[in-house]
Structure 1
Amino acid sequence: MAGASVATAAASGLAAAKPGDTVEVNVGFESERGRQKALSAADEVVRDFNSLDIVTIRAVKKSVSALESNPNVRYVEENGTMEALAETLPWGQDRVDSDVLHANGELGSGADVAIIDTGIDDDHPDLTDHLGKGKAFVSCDTSGGCRFGAKPADNTCNYAWTDDNNHGTHCAGIAAGDDNSEGVIGVGPDITLHAVKVLDKCGSGSYSDIAAGIEYVADQGWDVGSMSLGGDSGSSALKDAVQYATDNGVFLVAAAGNDGPCTDCVGYPAAYSEVMAVSSTASDDSLSDFSSQGPEVEIAAPGTDIYSSVANGGYDTYSGTSMACPHVAGAGGQLMADGYTNSDTRSQLKSTAEDIGLASNESGSGLLDAAAALGYDSSDDT
């Protein structure tokens, strides 16, 4: 709508918007009548989901407010944003005994793991051999800068889903870096990785973008969705997508968040009961000082000073629960390649986790033990 101001999550928000302001919202509807009401209220349809009963629209607040009282509408929410959770600058694979799996021929062949993130570097030597499909819900763009002085990755946008940030490529290498005598090796080096780009060059993506990415993973029938992203508050649209994916057999893993030290601060989507929330540990098995904790945490994995792939064929060391999450996603892929369901995978990872002396709200069932999850112990490396 020409001339209208736009209220966003980062600015004043839906509640503070004036009646004539244009706002972007997710509308969950009960019936086709509710969908049509939402569409008719829209100045612009941002997204009409394929399988979820949701549309994302831009409309003046006055029209949006009318939708909230419609009996055919389940909810109307601001289309807020979530952020990539990497913090600062890869001992981790050895600590969770991925090397034991590799020595016994357990490489993850047949598993499909989606990195729901900033994309994947499609030219990276550690990732190209087993790189599957890519899908972008935000476009690759390496021009310009970002807030707080951050810069996009030095990379070429060969595809819309190419990583223009580094974050997704780093997570991909942790989950499934290739065993090719260079760079890094991941938990399951023969896992097929899929790039689902829901975060932009600055590491930011809307609830709608992320929900659409999760829906896409479910519709593809892939095994694991790895989400090294999050925010302080949830979203009904995101919750719908998480439920849909879980009901369709996807094992969802998410970073607990980097708000530590704290006692009850796990972010979303990790805080949803359908998602396995992962906290972060340091090389001495202590809880990483940045790691969020809370009753939702189910397992811990290495996240401090993790060396992995980055965009433009490079490597770097990052820290964050973002780095812990793909360790668990890779191990989950290994199990699902062996025939485990998503719920069985979750139970197996928890039941075989190693007690490292941390409280349950810090590490859940303990530290990921990838070898034990697949029936090996640390001596089975020959």
Structure 2
Amino acid sequence: MKQSWFEKSVRVGLFAGLLLAGVLANAQVQTVPEPAAPVVGTPGNYLVTFQPGTSQADRAASVRNVGAALRFNYSIVESVAVTVPNVNVFAALQRDPSVLKIIVDHPVFAFQGNGQGKGKPGGGGGGEPTDDVVQPGVLRVGAPTSGSNGNGVGVAIVDTGIDFNHPDLAGAIDDTQSFTAYASCQDDHGHGTHVAGIVGARDNTIDVVGVAPMATLYCAKVLDSTGSGWDSDITAALDWVATDGQTYTPPIRVVNMSLGRSKTADDTDDHPMRVAVKNLYQQGVAVVVAAGNDSTKEVSQMVPAGYPEVLAVASSTAVDGTNNRCRFFTGTIAADTASSFTTDGAGVAISAPGEEAEDVNKPCFVVSKGILSLKLGGGTTRMSGTSMASPHVAGIVARLIQMMGYGGNRAPGYRLNPAGVEDVRTDIRANANAFRVGDAPLDPPPGISYTFDGEREGIAKAP
């Protein structure tokens, strides 16, 4: 796994043993919980895949006949999500000849960072700023312009919901759907509102400006007030994007998912969530996913970030950090450094700011200064994580689709295809900026605009 510049410099140049336990710690960023593996056959939630050609009506009848509760009956995946009340019902479902496979419905989590500050940009008291702030993450990937602002492109925020009443999202949100027990797509956590602000906060004299401030946002609530949900909820949201989402004006062309979990033995190519992602890929919908906040893991060990059809995004810093008189390290952590917490590895499409900076405090700990975006209830707050990196790229993709006319048609609502999604992936990489790693031997050669190390393809940059 590629190490960040700071990890390398600490290990090779500075009394590694003393600092490693402390300096690399990051209190603002949370990794995904690792719950105990459920016991197959016990009461709980399951995903059931049926034999090819089994109709939705027949699937529902099979579930009803054995006494299970139907949660979702998918359109683009020949599967259902069910709740099984006891082992006898599970056994009866297994005996159904139309059932091909039953797997555990695994929990999924937001790749979240703790909020930092309330109200005005930079922290401090409540209230709203009088002017828009183009935060350093947006500046780093490229501030929007009148011809490159996401206009005419639909972006689905698959998350904890969005704060419909936030004034900086007025006019930005079109249709909404909740796939949780909570009937409304209204955010009750804060993560989804922060993510939505990075993508599409309006350029309207208050709070912040998103990467694509004229994109149309669609809300899919799949995570609850604790920031957790299920594979089945994610699959249902992707099913909605692939069906209803293609009938909207503008249709959904980009999906952002700042969420995930660790890969399990159930994550085969025929997993319903994977099949749903592949369906969107075939439709030409670009699915952008946060890589994860565990630097000990490769992206291939994460779901859905490890799917080859998605654009997996790792985290980097937006600006140079500060050093508050750390005794053992006199330098600073530079802009464009891989975040100390980020998951990476072969399969990451690109990096983008998931934090504003990494500062070194007096006790020689790394402190992440989060990305400034919208706060549930109004105003702004800061969060760090690949959850914040991913929406920067989702906004860039919306702008690319708006500008580039993949397939020769720039009319609003035109469809991409799989080749178009790959063109987006190629263009993001080709337009990327090099990592600033601090080690001359690792700097890209003259004339090369991005680094290719098989793990990360430079820092995302809008056209």
TM over 0.5: yes
CA 258–251 in structure 1, closer or farther in 2 if over 3 Å, else same:
same
What is the alpha-carbon distance in structure 2 between the residues aligned to residue 321 and residue 362 of structure 1?
Answer: 19
Q: Is the 8 A contact 2:299 2:343 kept in 1?
A: yes
How much does 1:136 deviate?
0.5
Q: Deviations over 1:212-233 (max 9, x none)?
A: 0111112112100100000002
SS in 1 for 2:237: helix
CA 361–201 in structure 1, closer or farther in 2 if over 3 Å, else same:
farther
Q: Is the 8 A contact 2:299 2:305 kept in 1?
A: no
CA 286–83 in structure 1, closer or farther in 2 if over 3 Å, else same:
same
Structure 2 equivalent of residue 379 of structure 1: none
The structure 1 residue matched to 2:314, chosen from 262, 279, 285, is: 279
Name the aligned partner's letter for residue 210 of structure 1: I
Structure 2 equivalent of residue 151 of structure 1: none
The structure 1 residue matched to 2:394, chosen from 302, 313, 329, is: 329
Name the aligned partner's letter for residue 237 of structure 2: G
How much does 1:327 deviate?
0.5
The structure 1 residue matched to 2:141, chosen from 89, 96, 104, is: 96
CA 39–233 in structure 1, closer or farther in 2 if over 3 Å, else same:
farther
The answer to whether 1:319 aligns with 2:361 is no
How much does 1:364 deviate?
2.0
What is the alpha-carbon distance in structure 2 between the residues aligned to residue 77 and residue 14 of structure 1?
Answer: 10
The structure 2 residue matched to 1:233, chosen from 260, 263, 278, is: 263
Matches within 5 A, 1:32-51: 32=54, 35=59, 36-51=61-76
Aligned residues: 338
Q: Is the 8 A contact 2:347 2:455 kept in 1?
A: no
What is the alpha-carbon distance in structure 2 between the residues aligned to residue 27 and residue 170 of structure 1?
Answer: 34
Q: Is the 8 A contact 2:288 2:393 kept in 1?
A: yes
Q: Is the 8 A contact 2:68 2:83 kept in 1?
A: yes
Larger-Rg structure: 2
Q: Is the 8 A contact 2:299 2:306 kept in 1?
A: no
How much does 1:178 deviate?
0.5
How much does 1:346 deviate?
2.1
The answer to whether 1:353 aligns with 2:377 is no
Name the aligned partner's letter for residue 134 of structure 1: T
Name the aligned partner's letter for residue 427 of structure 2: Q
Q: Is the 8 A contact 1:174 1:327 kept in 2?
A: yes
Structure 1 equivalent of residue 163 of structure 2: 121
Matches within 5 A, 1:210-289: 210-219=234-243, 220-221=245-246, 222-233=252-263, 235=267, 236-263=271-298, 266-283=301-318, 284-289=335-340
The structure 1 residue matched to 2:348, chosen from 249, 274, 297, is: 297
How much does 1:299 deviate?
0.3
Q: Is the 8 A contact 2:161 2:186 kept in 1?
A: yes
SS in 2 for 1:316: strand
Q: Is the 8 A contact 1:266 1:296 kept in 2?
A: no
TM-score, with length taken from structure 2:
0.68
Q: Deviations over 1:239-285 (max 9, x none)?
A: 12111221222110000000114456652111001111000001311
What is the alpha-carbon distance in structure 2 between the residues aligned to residue 208 and residue 351 of structure 1?
Answer: 35
Matches within 5 A, 1:23-102: 23-30=44-51, 31-32=53-54, 35=59, 36-59=61-84, 60-65=86-91, 67-68=93-94, 72-88=98-114, 89=116, 90-97=135-142, 99=143, 101-102=144-145
Q: Is the 8 A contact 1:165 1:202 kept in 2?
A: yes
Name the aligned partner's letter for residue 259 of structure 1: D
How much does 1:296 deviate?
1.5
What is the alpha-carbon distance in structure 2 between the residues aligned to residue 168 and residue 362 of structure 1?
Answer: 30
Name the aligned partner's letter for residue 352 of structure 1: N
What is the alpha-carbon distance in structure 2 between the residues aligned to residue 181 and residue 105 of structure 1?
Answer: 19
Structure 2 equivalent of residue 4 of structure 1: none
What is the alpha-carbon distance in structure 2 between the residues aligned to residue 266 and residue 299 of structure 1?
Answer: 17
Which deviates more, 87-96 or 293-302?
A: 87-96
What is the alpha-carbon distance in structure 2 between the residues aligned to residue 75 and residue 184 of structure 1?
Answer: 47
Q: Is the 8 A contact 1:301 1:325 kept in 2?
A: yes
Name the aligned partner's letter for residue 207 of structure 2: G
Q: Is the 8 A contact 1:111 1:191 kept in 2?
A: yes
Name the aligned partner's letter for residue 194 of structure 1: Y
Which deviates more, 267-276 or 228-237?
A: 228-237
Structure 2 equivalent of residue 13 of structure 1: 38
Structure 1 equivalent of residue 461 of structure 2: 369
Structure 1: give runs of 5+ residues left out of the alignment.
1-8, 141-158, 372-382
Name the aligned partner's letter for residue 233 of structure 1: K
The structure 1 residue matched to 2:175, chosen from 133, 141, 164, is: 133
Structure 2: give runs of 5+ residues left out of the alignment.
1-33, 117-134, 247-251, 319-334, 356-369, 407-415, 438-450
How much does 1:160 deviate?
0.3
Q: Is the 8 A contact 1:254 1:277 kept in 2?
A: yes
How much does 1:168 deviate?
0.5
How much does 1:10 deviate?
4.6
SS in 2 for 1:189: coil
Structure 2 equivalent of residue 110 of structure 1: 152
TM-score, with length taken from structure 1:
0.82
What is the alpha-carbon distance in structure 2 between the residues aligned to residue 64 and residue 10 of structure 1?
Answer: 22
Q: Is the 8 A contact 1:161 1:197 kept in 2?
A: yes
How much does 1:293 deviate?
1.1
Aligned-pair identity in percent equals 34
SS in 1 for 2:394: helix
Structure 1 equivalent of residue 327 of structure 2: none
Q: Is the 8 A contact 2:349 2:425 kept in 1?
A: no
RMSD: 2.3
What is the alpha-carbon distance in structure 1 between the residues aligned to residue 344 and residue 64 of structure 2?
Answer: 40
